[in-house]
Structure 1
Amino acid sequence: MLSQSRSPLRLESRSLGIQIAAVVLGTIVLTLSSYVIVPMYPVPVTMQTYAILAVAALYGWRMGTLTVLAWLGQAAIGMPVLAGGTGGLAVFAGPTAGYIIAWPLITALVGWLVERGWNGHRPLLALLAMLTASAICLAMGAAWLSGFVGVEKAIAAGVLPFLLGDALKSALAAATLMVLARKGKA
């Protein structure tokens, strides 16, 4: 139901050991998704968005956001976990920082919506949650990027080339939820 509040994997009710393992596994999945890359300048295309949406949807807003923050913490200390094996504090001030800053926010949003029924049992709502999160991420990314290249170029280089890919990744994340719901796992 829309008022129901639980994540598909119900990690919030699992032992601390399972929760820690889930965060570690989530950061590994997020890192691996960062290495699936199509180089573009100033913002590369990766599978990070799909992985972030999937972690958010499967883990719920609390555990999903914690996982994304742990992953970004790894990046901040210099671990090569982001697109193309980047890491370090410089990525939090560079052209892609707006997207990076959006990730925990969209994770919380998608996780919260999925916990309230926007999930695999309601695939259109799940898709709407994913598309909304992608739009927020693109808007925040472009807003930040505009400080480097101007508004027109930020939209041309930081939004338009990603619209189709983000729509497809959103659909893939919603489809993942739908398949898991049919198997009784989400």
Structure 2
Amino acid sequence: MSVFQTQQGPVFDPLRLGERSLAIKAVFVLAGTLVLALASQIAVPMVPVPITMQTFAITMIGALYGWRLAGVTILAWLVEAMAGLPVLAGGAGGVAPFVGPTAGYLVSFPIIGALVGWLAERGWTGANVIRSFTAHLAGNILCLAIGGGWLAVLIGAEKGWLLGVAPFILGAFLKSALAAAVLKAAQQYGDRVRLN
């Protein structure tokens, strides 16, 4: 069996979103945008790009919501930001973050959320810790590649790497490990609930 084929057995869906109504899914989208806004405020200020918990929240939403609903949720959050709501790191909002140094990272967010969600729907999460870690790390690395690429266009490749990629690599590994551990615990909890 290919690593990209759907796993045998029940699909990872601890929130049971597959069986929810459209209205309930809309509530989850709004809740997801709130989680993303809160995660954005957990930040270590750096120039030109701060370290935040955004990518952790984005990949978790991807794994928990699935690729479609995660993509919608992340896009809704970005629309809130473009509309001027203070939902990005440091309470930023408006158009400026989408044309400045953080633009590449922001553009990558729906892509990485959908990627992790797509992999999760194929068994790359929950009980399979190695695949879960790999899925989250792939999302984080893709975010750094897109964000760092945009930053390189603005300030040059060397500075883009030094300021926009290298400082975030360790965090990408740590956030990916944390996400895999949390999802493993969620899977185990869900299995115990189903057995009782």
Q: Is the radius of gyration larger for structure 1 or structure 2?
A: 2
Give % identity.
52
Moved segments of 4+, more than 3 Å = 4-7
Letter in 2 for 1:3: T
For residues 45 and 11 of structure 1, the distance between their equivalents in structure 2, rounded to whole angstroms, comes to: 30
Asked if 1:61 is matched to 2:67, the reply is yes
The answer for the alignment partner of 1:140 in structure 2 is 146
The answer for the alignment partner of 1:181 in structure 2 is 187
For residues 6 and 48 of structure 1, the distance between their equivalents in structure 2, rounded to whole angstroms, comes to: 25
Letter in 2 for 1:81: V
Q: Deviations over 1:17-69 (max 9, x none)?
A: 21011001100000000000100000100011110011111000011111000
User: Which stretches in structure 1 are left out of the alignment for 5+ residues?
Assistant: none
Contact 2:112–2:143, Cα closer than 8 Å, also in 1: yes
Letter in 2 for 1:154: G
The answer for the alignment partner of 2:128 in structure 1 is 122
Letter in 2 for 1:105: I
Q: Per-residue deviation at 1:13?
A: 2.5
SS in 1 for 2:181: helix
SS in 2 for 1:184: helix
Task: State the TM-score, normalizing by the size of structure 1.
Answer: 0.95
Task: State the TM-score, normalizing by the size of structure 2.
Answer: 0.91
Contact 1:139–1:159, Cα closer than 8 Å, also in 2: yes
Q: Deviations over 1:103-147 (max 9, x none)?
A: 000111100000110011111001000111111000000110012
Contact 2:74–2:113, Cα closer than 8 Å, also in 1: yes
Letter in 2 for 1:46: T
Letter in 1 for 2:77: W
Contact 2:12–2:125, Cα closer than 8 Å, also in 1: no
Structure of higher RCO (CA pairs closer than 8 Å, 6+ residues apart): 1
For residues 11 and 76 of structure 1, the distance between their equivalents in structure 2, rounded to whole angstroms, comes to: 28
